[in-house]
A and B are shown apart, each in its own frame.
Chain A
Amino acid sequence: MDPSAAPAELPTSNTVPPTPTIAGTYEVLGPFLRNVAIRKFRIPGDDASVLVQDIFVGYLTRPDTIRDPRAYLIGAVCNASRNYWRVRQRELAIEESERLEERPCQPEAEQWEMRLALRATLARLGNRCRETLRRYYLAGESTADIAAAYDTTTDYVLHVLHRCRLQAREIYRTLTEVSL
């Protein structure tokens, strides 16, 4: 058979209607995509929310099926974010125009998802755990400082740190095992 006349298309799956659980995807992925628009592309928060809503409306309306919704939606938010700035190009500084270049977003997506999962992890910890971890890791306080603030011993602060880290690890592991 002459390859120059060969049909180029691979067989694709029959189209099936999306199920109502796709709306659930919005609740899980929506905040993540909004964060991508805000942090990577520096789109203002309100505009980012509208952008993500538009992306989901367009995605839900498609008659065909997307095999990998997560990858598609990440690509879509990057595309939409670049389009957002293209329309406003005159407002961009020259160095910002690099953001318009169509580069794959997928490799960075894992990092963003990890951060999102960690935020969700911290939100699920008790107040004492969260505050102790925050003081030690983010604020850089020593165990002695924390012990003084809590009116307790450094050994106890260490005990709390260890316990809370293990809890965080378990929560994080559970969250990241759930695939979208």
Chain B
Amino acid sequence: MSHPSDADLGRYAFDVRNGPDTVEKHVAGCGDCASFVRMMNDLDSNLADPDVWEEDDRAVDDRVTRYARKLADEDRNAEELLEGPLRNASAFVFADVGAKPRYRTAGVVRALCRKADAVCEEDPLFAVALADHAIVIAEALTASSYPSEALHQLTGAAWKERADACRFLGRYPEALAALDHAERAFSRLAAGGHELAKVSYSRATVLQFSHRLDEAMPIVTGLAETFALYGDEERYLNAKLLQGVLSFGRKDFALASTIWTTTRDRALERGMAPLAAQLAMNVGSTHLERGDRAEANRWFDQSLIEFRALGMHTEVIRVQWQQARLIASAGEHGAAIEKLRAAGQAFAARGMALDAALVELDVVEALIIVGKSSEAQRLSRRAFATFRNADLAIGALTALAYLKEVASARPPAVPDLTYVRQALERVREVPSLVFARPDKQP
């Protein structure tokens, strides 16, 4: 198809009354040319806006560009300085960077914070050490060398890293105290809203792990919307997930379902398929808790379809585990036990010892319910022996040792099974946690 020239289209857009009929007919049937005409019309209408005629002050202050260059130099320098100390935790402690003047730069603080963030989950003790040195250095930097905004940012970031590391160690009061320090520093920023929202998110997470759900809930309400103000989609979704988790923990299953359903819609819109599938499973769990087995089944089935399509086999097992619990809730313990055993074996085959142990717990509970106490005992003894050889944290093994006692009790105490389950879940979050028997609680 041949098109009118830009000049003809431009003249047509300028005054359609005087344009040739051929152009008008063409534009009516051609999307590209119609788009061109629309753009010319937009341009014409905006040229009448006095705002677009104001001249911009495009002078750029040198302060920011000088600071950016300084920071880039310090980052490069820090990389060289810290290559040895950051090799491992021992090398770092030996280097004692916080005590040496040559390490007192913003670049070093940034590098230590990034390293702390990177190792936090696997080696939280190392992360604490890194954060502590970052704090010492950040607080030693002076306003004569750095803008005050930079000092507040660095101090806040270092304390936040300490808080995150303490959370992974299960040192929750210390984590909260560190977050207080971070919050004070970030409050001094000209635009600390995003950083403060991150602190609030961490605080809510620590409170969640401390089982202080009622305190966590008001903190997390509205947090997702704050992240949205900064275009931070990832944290928006994290905050929504957390809000749902807290609601679920507080047994407000209806609210959890609403939150997770709308979050799932957003995840689907953004093509975040694994998250959408996980949320489908979560929503199914809310229905399971509310006794709406038909809806629970529908959501679990949907989740299963989506995880299978994604090839996420571990998550498929997780959904099948939930489906087994659904069957058990209908009183079909025999069928449930079969499905649970299959899920447990599948986890064990993948080396997921803790998940396998949690499934075994459900099997033990089901056996006790149907009156097969002897089999429950045998299973719990075998579970302990099996997982002693697996790479389970000592807290988890201790919990499983206690499980043997619970299963052997006459009658077996099902509430104690719940206690063991909670302990195993907490060990998943904080592997160094020590299991305390309920009868030894202060």
- Among residues of A, the one whose C-beta sits closest to the C-beta of B321 is A1
Give B82-113 as 1s and 0s: 1 = Cβ < 8 Å from A's Cβ atoms. 00000000000000000000000010011101
- Chain A interface category by residue count: 35 or more
Per the bound structure, the CA–CA distance linking A1 and B358 in Å amounts to 8
Give B347-361 as 1s and 0s: 1 = Cβ < 8 Å from A's Cβ atoms. 000000001001000
Provide the residues of chain B in CB contact with A20, threshold 8 Å. Answer: 68-69, 72
Provide the residues of chain A in CB contact with B248, threshold 8 Å. Answer: 3-4
Interface size on B, residues (CB 8 A): 90
B398 within 8 A of A: no
A9 within 8 A of B: yes
Contact between B194 and A122, CB atoms less than 8 A apart: no
Contact between A2 and B57, CB atoms less than 8 A apart: no
- Among residues of A, the one whose C-beta sits closest to the C-beta of B112 is A63
CB-CB under 8 A for A80 and B191, given A62-B157, A64-B117, A116-B56: yes
- Among residues of A, the one whose C-beta sits closest to the C-beta of B106 is A61
Contact between A78 and B40, CB atoms less than 8 A apart: no
Provide the residues of chain A in CB contact with B75, threshold 8 Å. Answer: 17
CB-CB under 8 A for A54 and B53, given A61-B110, A61-B154: no
A148 within 8 A of B: no
CB-CB under 8 A for A71 and B58, given A64-B117, A119-B52, A162-B11: no
- Decide if the interface of chain A is mainly helix, strand, loop or mixed: helix
CB-CB under 8 A for A115 and B51, given A77-B191, A166-B7: yes
Give B201-230 as 1s and 0s: 1 = Cβ < 8 Å from A's Cβ atoms. 000010010000000000000000010111
B323 within 8 A of A: no
Per the bound structure, the CA–CA distance linking A82 and B220 in Å amounts to 22
- Among residues of A, the one whose C-beta sits closest to the C-beta of B426 is A5
B386 within 8 A of A: no
Q: Which segment, of B24-32, B238-246, B326-334, faces chain A? A: B238-246
17 example contacts (A-B, Cβ-Cβ < 8 A) are as follows A1-B318, A3-B244, A8-B241, A14-B118, A30-B60, A30-B61, A53-B63, A58-B191, A60-B64, A60-B150, A61-B153, A67-B234, A79-B194, A105-B229, A119-B53, A137-B47, A166-B6
